[in-house]
Each structure stands twice: as structure tokens, then as C-alpha cells.
Amino acid sequence: MLTQVLPYPPDSGPKIKTYNVIKYLSQRHRVTLASFVRGDQSEHARRLEHYCQAVHTVQMERNVARDGLAMVRSLLTGQPWMMVRDDRQAMRALVDRLAAEQHFDVAHADQLNMGQYAERVTGAFKVMDAHNALWLLYQRLWATMSPGPRKWLLGRDWRLLKSYEGRLAREFDALLAVSPEDKAALQEAAGQPVDATVIPIAIDTDEIQVVEREAEPGHILHIGTMYWPPNIDAVNWFVREIYPLIRQQRPDVQFDVVGSRPPADLLALNDTGQGINVTGYVEDPTPYQQRAAVMIVPLLAGGGMRVKILQSLAEGIPIVSTTLGCEGIGVTDGEDILIADEPGDFAAAVLRVLNDRALAQRLSHNGRRLAETRYDYRRACVALDEVYDRAAPA
């Protein structure tokens, strides 16, 4: 198993997805993990040894100079910048050494960035586990940007990513997609039908319990990494177009934005007197969830599945999302979530949850049930067995 981030602690979408896949696979297979890490994650690596027979790590150092050099290499070679950025000689050496020391039946690349390393494992059945159709995610982000150098560079990269992603989709022995929409996007990149198995992102509903919320919660909550451009755009759109409409009807309401590394313009919202609280990273979001009447996912760009929606379903927190925000998740508008795409409709949906306790209770109950019956890893990951059976030695 090759991962771009160490999948512990499971405190972000990519980590949660991979952590539960490893837990599932470890019940049936001997898993060796090779992962990039940032800083000292030795204790986190030891925690994963409960599921893996071995855990090997390589430091991933990122800075502006290194990223700039990767851009020069990308411009010279025609390779996607993000793949060049994550090309590390130390990881290549580790993979080559491990593959020389023992035979691996499967080389499982977790996210597109790790495909270049799985390709080095000769004799293995190669699995590409796409957390999303990366080219589509960046195409959507590119479409929301104003003209300029950044848009030009991103436009170049999503086109290169589409070609790169298509090649790996054609050449790997098995392709995993998190949703039918992503499967279609990967097939478009491949330019032909490809053998893709849809396995949704999974959570552990034993570990995620229903949050005991306040009797009269009056807060709106957004949780997500706040250095990811689609999340920044989503919060800005909500604050600019939607939140004022809500405050006209409910001036007492407050908005909590929880997530690491928010940019300065979002942090400045703390001083506007609008009841907005931008926290940055918090180790335990429980206090914010306990006072949340509704979780919002106002995404305008993105791809894959939103793990924060799966978690909120399991936690029994009512959700209002855009159509794109809940893409790939089998929710039903009005039953386990409310969906709205226009500012007025989104504001009205949030107000419905704030003002209608019976509706909020129904969304909470139905959301938890959906998480348990469809997205718990012990059910969602079963299709992995058929994929891995194809790799079994004759």
C-alpha cells in the first residue's frame, strides 16, 4: 500500500478513507505500508502497525523553492506539475528495495500521486485507488477562477492530469473509483471503457457516535481544511451571498468555520461583528458540533466524495449541501439531507433546519441510518474482495 499522506490519525477525508481501507484489508491480507510523512510521525506510524505487518516512511518536504523547481521540470517535460512535485528519489529507492526483498501480490496506489511508485513493483497486480478524478476536480476549480497566470497554469495542469490519469487507468490491472460520476470521468480520461470498481469512501460507525447536541442549538457549522481552494471559495460564497439572508431572519445565529490553515481574509471575518468564528485547526471539534444546528457544505467546485458529509450523517448532524457538495453520496433531498444550489434556496434550507425541530430530528435519524447501512467500511469495502481475488496466485 503506497500512500501520499500517513493515514493516521484519521482526521481528514483522505486519511479516513485510507485508514478504513487498510483496516478492512488487514483482516484478509498482510499489508506493507510505504507512506510519505511530514515531520515526526513515528508514533502515528506505530499505531498503524496494529493493522500492517510493516510500516515504512519517507519524509515529504515541501517549500516554495522546491515547488517552483517542480514547475520548471513540468514545463520542460510536459508532465503534470502535481506528479513531478511528489516525485521523490527516496520513495523510489524504498519501493525498489522492498520489491527486491520480497514478492508483493498487489501494489495498491492510494491516490494518483502514488501511481508512479506502484508502477515500479514488477510482478505485482497493480491497483489504482482514485480518491477522485483529479483532472475533473481541477478542471472545475479552474472554471471558477478569474483570468490570469494562476488560471493558465491550472488549465495546463488539468489537461496534463487528464492524459496522465487516463494512461494509468488504461495500464493498471484494476481501478477503484469512489462514485459512478468519478468512474465516468476516469473513463473519459482513458478514452475507452476501463475496468473500474465503484467502492464508496467508508467510515467506521462504531468509532463515530451520534453527537449529543444542545437542546436549542443556534450555530451553523462548516468543517474542512481551509487551505483547500474549493473550501475557501465555498465559505466566501456562503458569507457573501447566503449568510446575510439567514441573519435577516435569525440575527441570533452564529457561524463556526473549523479547519486548519485558514487564509488571512477568512480570519479577518472574526472582526466583522457578524457572529462568525473562524477557528483554524482544532484537535477536538466536538464542542462546535454540540452547538451546531446544521452542517453546511456549500461547495461550488470539487470531485470525489465529501467525507465530512459521511461523518456528519453518522454523527446525526443535519446537513444542507449544494448538489455538487453531496455528489457521489446516496442521499435523498428532504429525507436525510437538504440540497440547494441558489443563495436564496440555500438560506431557506438552513432556516428550515434552524426553525423546524421535527425536520432536524428526522434528518438526524435518517442520516445516521444511511451511514450505518451503506457507508460503514465493513459493508462498503466488500467489493475489494473481488478485486483482490483477481490478484491471487494460481
Q: SS3 string of 205-235? A: CCCCCCCCCCCCCCEEEEECCCCCHHHHHHH
pLDDT digits (tens, 9 = 90+) for 209-261: 999 999 889 999 999 889 888 899 999 999 999 999 999 999 999 999 999 99
Q: Do 47 and 193 sit in the same domain of this protein? A: yes
pLDDT recorded at residue 393: 62
Write down the H helix ranges in 27-88: 42-48, 64-77, 81-85
pLDDT digits (tens, 9 = 90+) for 343-355: 999 999 999 999 9
Domain carrying residue 329: 219-374
Evaluate whether residue 228 is within a structural domain.
yes
Q: Do 337 and 188 sit in the same domain of this protein? A: no
Evaluate whether residue 366 is within a structural domain.
yes
Q: Do 298 and 262 sit in the same domain of this protein? A: yes
Q: Do 168 and 58 sit in the same domain of this protein? A: yes
User: Reduced to 3 states, what is the DSSP secondary structure of residue 264?
Assistant: helix
Q: Do 153 and 15 sit in the same domain of this protein? A: yes
Number of domains in the chain: 2
Residue 380 has which C-alpha cell?
462498503
pLDDT recorded at residue 144: 82
Edge to edge, what strands does the sheet with 276-280 contain?
276-280, 254-258, 219-223, 292-297, 319-321, 338-339
Pairwise pLDDT comparison (13 vs 294), residue with the higher score:
294
Q: Do 235 and 197 sit in the same domain of this protein? A: no
Evaluate whether residue 210 is within a structural domain.
no
**From CA 355, how far away is CA 353, in angstroms rounded?**
6
Evaluate whether residue 85 is within a structural domain.
yes
Q: Do 264 and 130 sit in the same domain of this protein? A: no
* Residue 109: how many other CB atoms lie within 10 Å: 25
Q: Do 384 and 366 sit in the same domain of this protein? A: no
Write down the H helix ranges in 102-179: 115-118, 134-143, 149-171
Evaluate whether residue 97 is within a structural domain.
yes
How far apart, in Å, do the first and last CA atoms of the chain sit?
A: 22
Q: Do 108 and 82 sit in the same domain of this protein? A: yes
CA 326 to chain centre: 12
Q: Do 12 and 61 sit in the same domain of this protein? A: yes
User: Could you write out the DSSP letters of every residue in 311-329?
Assistant: HHHHHT--EEE-TTTTTTS
The continuous run of DSSP H or E covering 32 comes out as strand 32-37
State the angle between helix axes of 134-143 and 180-190 in degrees (0 to 180), rounded to the nearest 10: 90
pLDDT digits (tens, 9 = 90+) for 126-159: 999 998 899 998 898 898 888 999 899 999 999 9
pLDDT recorded at residue 206: 94
CA 335 to chain centre: 24
**From CA 245, how far away is CA 347, in angstroms rounded?**
6
pLDDT digits (tens, 9 = 90+) for 21-36: 999 999 999 999 999 9
pLDDT digits (tens, 9 = 90+) for 80-125: 999 999 999 999 999 999 999 999 999 999 999 999 999 999 999 9
pLDDT recorded at residue 303: 64
Grid coordinates 451511514 are at which residue? 371
**From CA 251, how far away is CA 184, in angstroms rounded?**
44
Q: Do 160 and 223 sit in the same domain of this protein? A: no
Evaluate whether residue 211 is within a structural domain.
no
pLDDT recorded at residue 228: 83
User: What is the rounded average pLDDT of the residues 183-191?
Assistant: 94
Percentage of the chain lying above the pLDDT 70 cut: 98
pLDDT recorded at residue 140: 85
Evaluate whether residue 213 is within a structural domain.
no
Q: Do 262 and 142 sit in the same domain of this protein? A: no
Count of residues making up the chain: 394
Q: Which domain CATH number covers 310?
A: 3.40.50.2000
What is the pLDDT confidence band of residue 304, given thresholds at 50, 70 and 90? low
Evaluate whether residue 295 is within a structural domain.
yes
Compute the mean pLDDT over every residue in the chain, rounded to the nearest whole number: 94
Percentage of the chain lying above the pLDDT 90 cut: 85
Residue 389 has which C-alpha cell?
481475488
Look at residue 193 and tell me whether its pLDDT is greater than 90: no
